[in-house]
Amino acid sequence: MDLFANLYLGFSVALSFENLSFALLGAFIGTAIGVLPGIGPVATISLLLPITFGMSATTAIIMLAGIYYGAQYGGSTTSILLNLPGEVSSVVTTLEGYKMARKGRAGAALTIAAVGSFFAGTISTLLVAASGPLLTSVALSFGPADYFSLMLLGLIISAVLAQGSIVKAIAMVVLGVALGLVGTDVQTGQQRFTFGVPELSDGIGFVAVAMGMFGIAEIILNLERPESRSVLTNKVDSLWLTREEFKRSIAPVLRGTAIGSTLGILPGGGASLAAFGSYMMESKVSKFRHEFGTGAIEGVAGPEAANNAAAQTSFIPLLTLGIPANAVMALMVGALIIQGIQPGPRMVEAQPDLFWGLIASMWVGNLMLLVINLPMIGMWVKLLEVPYRHLYPAILIFCAIGVYSLNNNVFDVYLTMLFGLFGYLCSKLKLEGAPMLIGFVLGPMMEEHLRRAMLLSRGDPMVFIQRPISATLLAIGAIALITMLLPALRKKKEAALAEG
C-alpha cells in the first residue's frame, strides 16, 4: 500500500544518523526550555533559526519540530509541579496535575502525561500520514461563521462545566473576553482599551496573564500559609502508576486523542481548544468526575493526550496548505521559505522526503521524549523537595526572564506581577482562573470571526444558521445550555413546591 511505502520512505529519512541526532537535540532543547517557565518555543526557535540555514531543509525542520514537542512536554512538567503554565494548552494540566502533585502523586501525573502524550502522538502521526491531504478539505470548509459558532460553543461549555458558582464562572469568562479585546482592532486598526499605553497596543500577552494568574498567585498563596508548605515535602510515592490509575487513564487518553486530532486540524485556535475540550469532556463523562478539582488523573491524562495530538495534527494545515496555525508554525514556514521551499499542497509531491521524513520524525521525536523524560521524572519530582525559600525566588526569576524574552519588554514583567496579585485576589474570592483564560483566548478570535462573517454577509445574521456546520454547533451549544439549566430549574420548582 502507498501509505506504507511512504512511511518507509519517511522512516528511512528520519532514522538517518544526522536526522536522528538533530531530533534528539531538538527534543532535548525543547524539554529544557519547556521546563524553564515562560521561555517558550517561539523565542528558542527564532534564536536557532540562523543555525538551520546551513542544514538541509529536512534536518532543520526535524530539529525545530523536536523543540516544539519538547517544549509542550516540558511545559506540562512545570504545570504539574509548580502550577506554572507556559502555554495555553498546559493551563488545563495545572487544574488536576498540580492537585495531584500536592497529594504526593506528582510522579504519576508526570508519567501519565508522558505516556498519554506518546500514545496520542502515535495515533495522530498515523492520522496525519493516512489522511493529511484529505483532512485539509475539512479544515477549509470552516468559514468565519462556523468558527464563531465553534468558539461560542467552547465558551458555553466552559461556563457550564466550571466548578462552583455558575454566575462567578460566567463573570470570569466575560472578564477574560474583555481583557482579550485590549489592543488594536483587527477590523479598523483602532486602539481599544489601551489608555494610551503603547505597550498595550498589541494586546495583553497570554503568558503574562497565565503565569500571573496561576504561578505567581500560587506562590503568594503559599507564602501566606506556612503550614501548607509541608504538603509537598510529603514523601513522594512511586513514580509509576498504580493499576487503578492506569485503568482510569485509558478511556480519557483515547477520548483526548480523538478530540485533539480533530480540533488540531483547524487552522488557528484549534490546538488551544483541544486541551480545554478534553478536560471539559472528562469532567462530564468520567466515572470519577466527583474527584475533579481534587487531583483526578483523568484531568491530566485526557488533556495531555489531546494537546499532543493537536500539536501533531496542527502540522496538517501547515504542510498541506502552507498556513501556519500559530507562532511556532509561522517560524517553521519561515525556516522552510529560507530554504526555498514553500509549504503547501504541492509539497507532498515536490518534497516527498521532507514531508514523510517529518511525519516519521514526529513519531521518533515522541518516542525520544518518552525516553528522555521517563528517567528524568524522578529528578523533576526531587525539585519539589527543594526548600521554598530557595525554590520561589528561583521561580520568580525564571518567570521574569521568560516573560521578558517574549517581546524583550519590561512592561510584560510588570503585567505578570499585576496578574499575580489579581490571581491571588481571585482565589480569595473563590473565582476560578481557568474560565477567564478561556475567555481571554477565545474571546478575541470569536469577535474577529463574528465581525468577518457579518462583513461578508453584509450584516445578515442568518448566515450563522444557514451554514450547516455553524447551525449544528449552535444547536449543540443550545442543548448544552438547556441540559445545564434544566436541573437547576427543576430544583427551583421542587423548592417552590416544597414551600407551597
Partner 1 sequence: MPEVVHRRALIAGAAAAVALPSLSRAQAWPSGAVRLVVPFAPGGSTDLAARLVADGLAQRLGVPVVVENRPGAGATTGSQMVADAAPDGQTLVMSNIASHAISPALYGNRVRYDAVRSFTHIAMVITNPSVWVVNPRSEIANLADLVRIAKTRRGGLDMASSGAGSSNHLLLVRFSDLAGIEHTHVPFRGAGPAMTAVIAAQVPMMSDSLPSAAGHIRQGSVRAIAMSSAERHPAFPDVPTFREQGFDLVSTSWFALSGPAGMPAPIVERLHRETMAVIATPEARQRFAEMGGSPGDMTSAQFSAFVASEVERWAPVVRASGATAD
Q: Contact positions toward partner 1, by CB under 8 A?
A: 42-43, 45-46, 49-50, 53, 140-144, 184-191, 196, 198-199, 201-202, 267-268, 317, 321-324, 327, 330-331, 333-334, 337-338, 340, 342-346, 407-409, 448, 452, 455-456, 458
Q: Enter the C-alpha cell of residue 400.
A: 521574569
Burial class from Cβ neighbours inside 10 Å (0-12, 13-18, 19+) for residue 25 reads middle
Q: Which is nearer to partner 1, 40 or 295 (CB)?
A: 40
What's the rounded Cα separation, in Å, for the pair 307 and 156? 20
Nearest distance from C-beta of residue 463 to partner 1, angstroms: 11
Nearest distance from C-beta of residue 111 to partner 1, angstroms: 34
Q: Which is nearer to partner 1, 54 or 500 (CB)?
A: 54
365 contacts 26 by C-beta, under 8 angstroms = yes
Nearest distance from C-beta of residue 149 to partner 1, angstroms: 15
What's the rounded Cα separation, in Å, for the pair 350 and 341? 9
Q: How many CB atoms lie within 10 A of CB 484?
A: 15
Q: Which is nearer to partner 1, 211 or 336 (CB)?
A: 336
Q: Which is nearer to partner 1, 191 or 427 (CB)?
A: 191
Q: Which is nearer to partner 1, 80 or 177 (CB)?
A: 177
267 contacts 139 by C-beta, under 8 angstroms = yes
Q: Kind and range of the H or E element at 119?
A: helix 106-140
How open is the CA angle 191-193-195, to the nearest 5 degrees? 90
Nearest distance from C-beta of residue 321 to partner 1, angstroms: 6
Q: Which is nearer to partner 1, 187 or 238 (CB)?
A: 187
Nearest distance from C-beta of residue 452 to partner 1, angstroms: 6
Give, in order, the Cα–Cα distances in Å from 26 to each of 65, 290, 477.
Answer: 7, 40, 41
Nearest distance from C-beta of residue 190 to partner 1, angstroms: 7
Q: Which is nearer to partner 1, 108 or 325 (CB)?
A: 325
Contacts of 63 (CB under 8 A, 6+ apart): 22, 23, 25, 26, 48, 52, 55
Nearest distance from C-beta of residue 165 to partner 1, angstroms: 34
Nearest distance from C-beta of residue 60 to partner 1, angstroms: 13
197 contacts 418 by C-beta, under 8 angstroms = no
Q: Which is nearer to partner 1, 166 or 401 (CB)?
A: 401
What's the rounded Cα separation, in Å, for the pair 460 and 452? 12
Question: Facing residues of 184 across strands?
Answer: 191
Q: Which is nearer to partner 1, 226 or 340 (CB)?
A: 340
Q: Which is nearer to partner 1, 55 or 106 (CB)?
A: 55
Distance linking the first and last C-alpha atoms of the chain: 72
303 contacts 119 by C-beta, under 8 angstroms = no
What's the rounded Cα separation, in Å, for the pair 49 and 262? 30
Contacts of 239 (CB under 8 A, 6+ apart): 107, 108, 110, 111, 377, 378, 381
DSSP codes, 232-294: GGSPP--SSPPHHHHHHHHHHHHHHHHHHHHHHTSTTTHHHHHHHHHHHHHHHH-TTGGGTTS
Nearest distance from C-beta of residue 1 to partner 1, angstroms: 26
Nearest distance from C-beta of residue 318 to partner 1, angstroms: 10
Nearest distance from C-beta of residue 256 to partner 1, angstroms: 26
Q: Which is nearer to partner 1, 165 or 201 (CB)?
A: 201
Could you give the 3-state DSSP secondary structure of residue 324? Answer: coil
309 contacts 123 by C-beta, under 8 angstroms = yes
Q: How many CB atoms lie within 10 A of CB 446?
A: 22
What's the rounded Cα separation, in Å, for the pair 455 and 187? 10
Nearest distance from C-beta of residue 441 to partner 1, angstroms: 14
Q: Which is nearer to partner 1, 149 or 366 (CB)?
A: 149
Contacts of 432 (CB under 8 A, 6+ apart): 162, 163, 164, 168, 169, 172, 426
What's the rounded Cα separation, in Å, for the pair 151 and 251? 25
